[in-house]
């Protein structure tokens, strides 16, 4: 299966670039909601996503904190488990050169995963890196932009739960447990 993988931040306070029609003399106004963020609540949510070429669907997994190598491994493991359940045997993974993709830790994990798959069965990963500074080559990038525009609320701050629910609904994904770093 061909899949395009990337991570995205969904800001709760900074609206995406929008263009909208409005009634004459009643222009749409975006309100500054940054002051409404409660203490301890995140200003943005981070998630991993995989755009499937075979179905056009998305696999979405939110992250506690920011994307790092450990979470990338957990996301890839989760994706491979789901694909194996569908009977897939290989994932051709197209992604960028983010530090948490190219890290030694992730490369070692992919090699070990592929060796384990060869012995025990499962989904093998073939990673294909995009050229540096070329995000337009990753087919998932427009999906992120459309998702941000589809879920924005122009006059109020969405709670983290509301934002996640809207994104799951927009991308047609089932809610899943957040990826989080294990205690070291």
More confident residue, 37 or 182: 182
Task: Kindly tell me if the per-residue pLDDT of 7 is higher than 70.
Answer: yes
pLDDT of residue 71: 94
Tokens matching residue 28:
């749409």
For residue 67, what is the domain's CATH number? 3.30.420.10
Cβ count near 140 (within 10 Å): 21
**178 within domain boundaries:** no
More confident residue, 97 or 84: 84
User: Is residue 3 within 8 Å of residue 123, measured between CB atoms?
Assistant: no
Cβ count near 78 (within 10 Å): 17
**144 within domain boundaries:** yes
Element (H, E) at 150: helix 141-151
**130 within domain boundaries:** yes
pLDDT of residue 36: 56
**37 within domain boundaries:** no
**146 within domain boundaries:** yes
pLDDT of residue 104: 95
Query: Which of 3-17, 81-95, 135-149 is predicted most confidently?
Result: 81-95
**22 within domain boundaries:** no
**84 within domain boundaries:** yes
* Residue 87, domain extent: 2-11+42-171
Domain count, the chain: 1
pLDDT of residue 28: 59
Nearest to 140 by CA among 64, 67, 83, 59: 59
> Hey, what long-range contacts does 79-85 have (CB within 8 A, 24 or more apart)?
79/3, 79/50, 79/123, 80/113, 80/117, 80/122, 80/123, 80/125, 83/1, 83/123, 84/121, 84/122, 84/123
The arithmetic mean of pLDDT across residues 20-28, rounded, is 63
The 10s digit of each residue's pLDDT in 37-76 is 666 677 789 999 999 999 999 999 999 888 899 999 999 9
- Tell me the average pLDDT of the chain: 86
Q: What angle do CA 44, 47, 50 make, to 5 degrees?
A: 150
The 10s digit of each residue's pLDDT in 89-124 is 999 999 998 888 889 999 999 999 999 999 999 999
Q: How many helices (H) and strands (E) does the chain have?
A: 5, 5
**24 within domain boundaries:** no
pLDDT of residue 183: 42
CA 137 to centroid of chain Cα atoms: 16
The arithmetic mean of pLDDT across residues 156-172, rounded, is 91
């Amino acid at each position: 299966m061909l899949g395009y993988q990337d991570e995205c931040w969904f800001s709760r306070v900074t609206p995406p670039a929008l263009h909208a029609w409005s009634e004459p003399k009643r222009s749409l106004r975006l309100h500054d909601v940054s002051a409404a963020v409660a203490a301890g609540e995140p200003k943005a949510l981070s998630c991993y996503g995989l755009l499937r070429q075979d179905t056009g669907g998305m696999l979405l997994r939110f992250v506690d904190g920011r994307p790092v190598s450990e979470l990338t491994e957990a996301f890839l493991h989760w994706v491979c488990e789901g694909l194996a359940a569908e009977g897939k045997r290989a994932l051709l993974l197209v992604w960028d050169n983010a530090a948490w993709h190219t890290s030694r830790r992730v490369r070692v994990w992919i090699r070990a995963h592929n060796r384990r798959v060869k012995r025990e069965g499962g989904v093998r990963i073939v990673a294909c890196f995009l050229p540096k500074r070329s995000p337009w080559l990753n087919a998932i990038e427009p999906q992120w932009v459309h998702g941000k525009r589809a879920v924005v609320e122009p006059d109020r701050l969405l709670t983290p739960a509301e934002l996640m629910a809207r994104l799951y609904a927009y991308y047609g994904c089932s809610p899943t447990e957040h990826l989080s770093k294990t205690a070291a």
